[in-house]
Amino acid sequence: MSGVLVIFFLLAALAVLGAVSLILQSHPIHSALSLILVMVSLAGLYLLMGREFIAAVQIIVYGGAVMVLFIFVIMLLNAGVEERTNFSKLATFGGIPLALALGGIIAAAIARSTSQLPATGEAALSSTRKLSMLLFSEFVYPFELTSFLILVAILGAIVLAQREN
């Protein structure tokens, strides 16, 4: 069990490191690369929980397709180094207290939850087949609604691209 814990903390540390670096980097491409690190470490965490399909999809969709699009757009626009401003008044009086409050609420919620997560490995959702069974039976309406939403987004993109002609 300790080996699993070590890997968990390693991946968690990598994810947090990537997230912090995402904010602190001044160049958009470096920020995007940090975000990829976060995505891949999250995939590792999913794998650790025995959800291999979700892990692979996390890398293929988020680590691959979505982030490639980010990087592609940043490269295409040739975005330069961002200018860094000092803390504005809004950030000092609105942002920091709100961030602290949010962090406190999440920490309290985690501290209060005593229920164990379902056992890993041979759990109900462990196999890809069971996951797809659930997706296409119990959760078929949310699933279809999501695909409809994506279809609308595609149509919107086409309409926007065609408007000039």
Partner 1 sequence: LHHDADFAGGGSEAVSEILAKYGFLIVPIVKVAILVFVVLTLDAYLTWLERKVIAHIQARWGPYRVGPHGLLQPLADGVKFILKEDPMPTGVDKKAYFFAPFLTLMLALTSLAVIPFGPDITIFGYTTNFGIADVNISLLVLFAITALGVYGIALAGWGSNSKYSLLGGLRSSAQMISYELALTLSVVGVLLIAGDFSLKHIVEKQAGDLGLLSWNIVGLSKGGGGFTQIIGCICFFIAAIAETNRVPFDLPEAESELVAGFHTEYASMKFAMFFIGEYTSMIAVSSLFTILFFGGWLSPFPASWILTHYLPSVMLVPLGLWVIFDGIRYETIFGRLILPGVGMVFTLLGVALFFSPTVNELIQGPFWFFAKVGAVLFFYIWMRATLPRFRYDQLMDFGWKFLLPVSIANVVLTSAVIMWRMK
| 75 scored as a contact of partner 1 (CB under 8 A) | yes
- The neighbour count for residue 33, using CB atoms within 10 Å, is 17
Contact 76, 146 (CB under 8 A): no
Binding track, positions 78-117, relative to partner 1; x by CB under 8 A = ----------------------------------------
Listing DSSP states for 26-94 in one string gives SSHHHHHHHHHHHHHHHHHHHHHTT-HHHHHHIIIIIIIIIHHHHHHHHHHHT--PPPPPPPPHHIIII
Interacting residues with partner 1 between 4 and 63 (CB under 8 A): 27, 29-30, 33, 36, 40, 43, 52-53, 56-57, 59-60, 63
> Out of 1, 3, 23, 76, which residue is the one contacting partner 1 (CB under 8 A)?
76
Binding site for partner 1 (CB under 8 A): 27, 29-30, 33, 36, 40, 43, 52-53, 56-57, 59-60, 63-65, 68-69, 71-72, 75-76, 128
